[in-house]
Structure 1
Amino acid sequence: MRIGFHASHEQQPPSRLLGHIVRAERAGFDEAMCSDHLAPWLTAQGESGFAWAWLGAALARTSFPIGLVTAPGQRYHPVVLAQALATLEEMFPGRTWAALGSGEALNEHVTGDAWPSKGERDARLVACADVMRRLLAGERVSASAPVRVDEARLWSLPRVPPPLRAAAISRHTSTMVAEWADGLVTVGADPGGTQETLRAYRDAGGDGPALLQIHISLERSEEEALRQAREQWAQSTVPAELMWELDQPEDFERHADPTPERLRSAVVIGSDAGEVAERIAQAAAGFDGVFLHQVGRDQDGFLARCETELLPELRNRA
């Protein structure tokens, strides 16, 4: 199982995050991924750099693969995303990928367009994935509803198209994307939930790598680990039916219920690297890779512990 580092644009300024990605490679991570947000989930997180500009610098400063989760169709036209991805892959062959999702109102509402229903977003995602795949294959593409494209073509193409994976959390979505995705990216800390998503994707015929992002809070004490999770990742306690519908960080703060029990169901919280590694391994069983997202502010301290404690513990279990 490959072990990756998750770079959270919502929590660090891009310049500092660039240093973290370099340090993550030195610490022994196999690869990395990042978020692609216009706004943070919470005002306490306080950042949200442009992922696509940052990726060029991050790939230039490292030698391992770096992907991202992104949402075509509203904030980004799929032709623009396909061009961005093709350019990165042409410059850094074999080192980048995108996991396409249906998006969150938090990032997409800024266009002023109505936020579609889940069914409409799913249909739009399938159409956008088809447009992007055909463009990356060198085709001239036109399309109408639910996304409009007029005689688009990419002129600077990589030798081999990069993977278009799918971001999915629910059983419904992981089943739906299996038909077109080059792999699955999901998120969760509960082994029951992560295994259900993985089974749904595989049972529907999904192939390619299955990757899990897992939120953790590894600190020197249990109290500090819980405090960091509450301050920095309280949106994980918002009811699932609201996660994709709220459009301001303040809305997530109002709907959060960051009790210790709720936080521990979404974030692996602890001070002992061996215990944290065991819980990660349980959630990631059967996956081809796992990406660790330390929700606390002190990324340098976390990466130091990864190098000497957490990564060796996790590799022993994997």
Structure 2
Amino acid sequence: MTRIGFHASHEQHPPSDLLEFVRTAEQVGFDEAMCSDHFAPWLTSQGHSGFAWSWIAAALALTRYPIGLVTAPGQRYHPVIAAQALATVEEMFPGRTWAALGSGEALNEHVTGDAWPSKPERDERLVRSADVMRRLLSGEKVNADGLVRVHEARLWTRPEIPPPILGAAISPRTAARIARWADGMITVGGDPSATRRTRESYRRAGGTGRTLLQVHVSLASTREEALAAARDQWAQGTVPPRLMPDLQQPEDFERHADPTDAKLDAAVIIGSDEAEVAGRIAAAAAGFDGVFLHHVGTDQRAFLQRCEDHLLPELRRLL
């Protein structure tokens, strides 16, 4: 059975509100949750970006279900520090967290002042960061040189069982690459053919563990309202994918966005009818072990109420 999760968007809401939303999500029937890990929002209209590692500990303390996050070690976070953060959270809340590692975006990483590497170098840095984190979580004393430098590091506080380290992938090519080291995969999108290709590429390459999907949704009383919310809060979803990793400021995403109705429909599942939206989510999530719903609109309370009343029961019927 596919598990249904709630996505907490740090780019769009203050962390105090996200605590309320993640608690409510558990109460209305979600199986688990996840959150984003950003230093900056995608758009100035989103307007937030709390520190995910602080928030996730508070969220786990206030709930009973699992909560994971997508993060990017290697520049803003040294992998030794990312491993320490993950180990600490898992030690406090055994069996309830995971981290999915990605190669990152300049939006969040440029703040260190270091040069933003090319895509091949970022990919290799990710592999080496994941290796360092896994070795530290297993109890090793770690030394490393090259793209990731580590000197005699060891974690003094570790969980009894290391948490899963997943890989984040958008394309089938990246999915096949992360299959070499990941304990599972997470991808994003609402196009069933695209999500299927990415999931199948991961499995064909020998990928193990859970395959997870994040879906962006805009659900409102009318399609016009849902479109307006997507245009205001998720216009960066229309930026050409080749540009996404290298843009540095929210204003850059706003300049390159093309939030026409057709482009927004390709980036976000937009609608007013819960049954229709559930059908589109279920089609994209077919074959995945978990799907996380991210409502891009600002009114999370209304969305969660509609989840309890209609969307979750319909999704459980279809998945």
Q: Give 1:171 shift.
A: 1.5
Structure 1 Cα separation of the partners of residues 143 and 65 of structure 2: 35
For 2:60, the equivalent position in structure 1 comes to 59
| 1:10 alignment partner in structure 2 | 11
The amino acid that maps onto 1:160 is I
Q: What is the match of residue 36 of structure 1?
A: 37
> Which residue pairs with 1:84 in the alignment?
85
Segments of 5+ residues of structure 1 without an aligned counterpart are none
Task: Encode CA deviations 1:276-313: one digit per residue, 9 max, x unaligned.
Answer: 00000000011000000000000000000001100000
| Identity score, percent | 70
**AA partner of residue 238 (structure 2):** T
Residue 153 (structure 2) pairs with residue 152 (structure 1):
yes
In 1: Cα distance, 2:61 partner to 2:277 partner = 32
Q: Secondary structure at the match of 1:56?
A: helix
Q: Tell me the alpha carbon deviations over residues 1-55 of structure 1, each in whole angstroms, 9 at most, x when there is no partner.
A: 0000000000000001110000000010000000000000000000000000001
CA distance in 2, matches of 1:315, 1:207: 24
TM-score by length of structure 2 reads: 0.99
CA distance, structure 2, for counterparts of residue 288 and residue 145 of structure 1: 36
- Write the deviation string for residues 162-207 of structure 1: whole angstroms up to 9, x where unpaired: 0000000011111100011000000001111111101110110001
Q: Quick one: distance in 2 between partners of 1:292 and 1:283?
A: 12
- Is 1:250 equivalent to 2:244 in the alignment? no
Other-structure match for 2:119? 118
Deviates more, 1:72-81 or 1:170-179: 170-179
Partners of 1:191 and 1:238 in 2: CA distance: 20
- The alpha carbon displacement at 1:146 in A equals 1.0
Aligned length: 318
Which ranges of structure 2 fall in alignment gaps of 5 or more residues?
none
Helix, strand or coil for the counterpart of 1:244? helix
Structure-2 separation of matches of 1:173 and 1:283? 19
Work out the CA distance in 1 between the residues paired with 2:165 and 2:117.
Answer: 23
Q: Distance in 1 between matches of 2:67 and 2:226?
A: 27
2: CA distance, partners of 1:273 / 1:286? 21
Over the residues paired in the alignment, what is the CA RMSD in angstroms?
0.4
Match of residue 179 from structure 2: 178
The TM-score, its normalising length taken from structure 1, stands at 1.00
- Whole-Å Cα distance in 2 between the matches of residues 244 and 93 of structure 1? 33
